[in-house]
C-alpha cells in the first residue's frame, strides 16, 4: 500500500486542523457521506474527499472535509 498524508478540515475552515501520516498505507480514507469519529469522540460527517500529489511533496495528500454530524 502507498504511504500518504490525510488532512482533516473541519466546518469549512480552509486550514487543516489535523494531519495523519500513514506510512504503512493501512489507514482507511473515509468516503463522502460517511460518519467518522475523530479524537475527542465527536462524530463528523464527510462532505468531500479530494487528493493531490505535489511535485515538492513526496507523499500524496488526501484532504477530508468534515462537518459536525447531527445526533439522531
Helix (H, G, I), strand (E, B) or coil at 31: coil
Cα separation of 24 and 16, whole Å? 21
- Give residue limits of the domains in the chain: 4-68
Instruction: Assess contact for 64 and 8: CB atoms under 8 A.
Output: yes
Position 49 scores a pLDDT of 97
Q: What is the pLDDT of residues 29-68, one digit of tens each?
A: 999 999 999 888 889 999 999 999 878 878 899 999 999 9
pTM: predicted TM-score of the whole model, two decimal places: 0.86
Task: List the 18-22 sheet strands across, edge first.
Answer: 18-22, 4-10, 61-68, 43-52, 35-37
Amino acid at each position: 500500500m502507498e504511504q500518504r498524508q490525510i488532512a482533516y478540515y473541519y466546518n469549512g475552515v480552509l486550514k487543516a486542523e489535523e494531519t495523519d501520516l500513514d506510512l504503512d498505507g493501512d489507514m482507511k480514507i473515509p468516503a463522502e457521506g460517511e460518519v467518522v469519529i475523530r479524537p475527542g469522540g465527536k462524530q463528523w460527517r464527510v462532505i468531500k474527499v479530494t487528493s493531490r500529489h505535489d511535485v515538492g511533496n513526496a507523499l500524496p495528500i488526501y484532504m477530508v472535509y468534515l462537518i459536525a454530524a447531527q445526533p439522531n
